Copies of this chain bind each other. A is one copy, B any other.
Amino acid sequence: MSEESSGSKRKVEVCFSPALFPVYFQDKNCAVVVIDVFRATSAICSAIDNGVTGVIPVATIDEAYEYKEKGFLVGAERQAEVVEGFDFGNSPITFKSGKFSGQDIVLTTTNGTKAVELAKEASNVVIGSFANLDAVCKYLERLDKDVILFCAGWKDRFNLEDTLFAGAVVEKLAENLRFADLQDSAIASKDLYLKAKDDLFGFLSESSHRKRLSKLNLEEDILYCLKLNQSKNVPVLLNGKIVKG
């Protein structure tokens, strides 16, 4: 196929909010990258890196309780804090001790796990974070499908950190002529990332969620979430569970 044929080019779009996902999700045969940099998708990558065999994402606290009653290890975060009565929240640091290694866990978060739930009908659902940026991009190139970069946002609002990660993926994919059909949302995200990439931490200093986390003394988490390519793993959704792809 010729490069000029737009039919041979893969479309790359960024969905900035769960409330917009139905607008962008018009064809199930696509790759959806779920992005919740602070902190759900960074935490899921860390869990898989540290030996967790599977992460079962659930949307509500009620579902999370049901799993807890069945004996699962369950994480629950709302408003950036661990929900009382659960084993952990969405800090990626949690998994570094390796104490969850070899086990399945359950997780519910304010934004990220809801986005996974919305995306589950797509043929491929991938978990993206700065920790596995290059690995995700290589995976998307191998899949060779249209891509929706799905920012979990904050309570359906646009946020900067998820958009920057989306832009980082667009920048990498756009080097490959197969992914030349960049929609407006992809162009905007890439330009923002190019502006911010040399100092992500500084660029995000005015962002609403970094301020929210800083108030909770989560600077260590923030630094972890903004460190590129710590992992070669690509967590993917398979039969309702996130596993190593």
Contact = CB atoms under 8 A, between A and B. Distances in A.
B195 A191 contact: yes
A139 interface: no
30 contacts: A13-B157, A16-B16, A17-B20, A17-B23, A19-B19, A19-B23, A20-B20, A20-B157, A23-B155, A23-B156, A23-B157, A24-B157, A154-B184, A157-B184, A157-B185, A158-B184, A158-B185, A160-B184, A160-B188, A183-B208, A184-B207, A184-B208, A184-B209, A187-B206, A188-B192, A191-B191, A191-B192, A191-B195, A192-B192, A195-B195
Interface in A184-209: 184-185, 187-188, 191-192, 195, 206-209
A240 to B, nearest CB: 27
A188 B188 contact: yes
What copy number does this chain have within its complex?
2
A159 to B, nearest CB: 5
